[in-house]
């Protein structure tokens, strides 16, 4: 967790956002290349993300699967993971491009409106911490987000949502009356929101078409964030 704002009066709502496919898209190969390079440095294995269904996965899970497909043992994967996490974050921090023109439709306007409404905004993403924050910085979105829950913090996305809600409550940013929503573009985001007991809002700006997302029964399904109305989250 990381906060960039002091505790204030409890807000009426907590709105959590996935990053890839929800806030940003077509961000380039730099992220997956950082994972592969981290694996090469830490273990010597040459790996690729080819054939791995990355959508909605956590970075440590992706790296574990990359190693597994390259023939690494489970013991080596577990032993190497802390070093992999460190290297991947450092490599991405050096290679991340400018992402200001890679935001999904309606993102900036939506974040500005939510900020003015008094809602607390946070990230829930499979990205490692430094990778997630670097993307937000390079996209010019960092200032909107008070904190985040990231890929190395939990074994699955549902637990990440739970951790984010617990942190907001612990900090006093929200109380038990606050409405909580998780906005994402993948079936994994819908399932995570449901597992955590919060409202799921799906946006069809990632790899999954709207019809596929509809099959997972999100509470709200939007073409993109331009269709988000404040009353949906407040």
Domains of the chain in start order, with CATH, are 11-25+103-232 (3.40.50.1000), 30-95 (1.10.150)
The answer to whether 19 and 128 are in contact (CB under 8 A) is no
- Secondary structure (3-state) at 174: strand
pLDDT(227) > 90: yes
pLDDT digits (tens, 9 = 90+) for 122-139: 999 999 999 999 999 999
Check pLDDT > 90 for residue 200.
yes
Write out pLDDT tens, residues 58-95. 999 999 999 999 999 999 999 999 999 999 999 999 99
* Burial (CB count <10 Å: 0-12, 13-18, 19+), residue 159: middle
User: CB-based burial of residue 74 (10 Å sphere; 0-12 exposed, 13-18 middle, 19+ buried)?
Assistant: exposed
Banded model confidence at residue 184, pLDDT cuts 50, 70, 90? very high
pLDDT at residue number 7: 46
* pTM metric for this prediction: 0.93
The Cβ-side half-sphere exposure at 190, using a 13 Å CA radius, reads: 21
- pLDDT for 2 equals 56
Question: In the predicted model, what is the mean pLDDT of residues 159-182?
Answer: 97
Q: Are 188 and 159 in contact (CB under 8 A)?
A: no
pLDDT at 28 over 90: no
Three-state secondary-structure class, residue 175: strand
């Amino acid at each position: 967790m990381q906060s960039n704002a002091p505790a204030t009066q409890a807000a009426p709502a907590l709105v959590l956002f996935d990053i890839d496919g929800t806030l940003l898209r077509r961000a380039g190969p730099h992220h997956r290349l950082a994972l592969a390079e981290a694996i090469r440095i830490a273990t010597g294995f040459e790996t690729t993300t080819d054939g791995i269904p990355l959508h909605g996965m956590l970075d440590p899970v992706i790296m574990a699967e990359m190693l597994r497909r390259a023939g690494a043992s489970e013991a080596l994967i577990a032993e190497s993971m802390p070093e992999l996490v460190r290297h991947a974050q450092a490599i991405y921090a050096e290679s991340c491009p400018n992402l200001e023109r890679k935001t999904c439709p309606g993102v900036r306007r939506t974040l500005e409106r939510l900020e003015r409404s008094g809602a607390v905004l946070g990230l829930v993403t499979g990205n490692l911490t430094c990778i997630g924050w670097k993307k937000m910085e390079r996209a010019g979105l960092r200032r909107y987000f008070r904190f985040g829950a990231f890929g190395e913090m939990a074994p699955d996305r549902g637990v990440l949502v739970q951790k984010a809600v617990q942190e907001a409550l612990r900090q006093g940013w929200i109380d038990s009356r606050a409405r909580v929503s998780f906005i994402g573009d993948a079936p994994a985001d819908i399932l995570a929101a449901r597992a955590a007991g919060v409202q799921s809002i799906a946006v069809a700006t990632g790899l999954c078409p709207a019809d596929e997302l509809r099959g997972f029964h999100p509470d709200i399904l939007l073409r993109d964030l331009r269709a988000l109305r404040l009353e949906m989250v407040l």
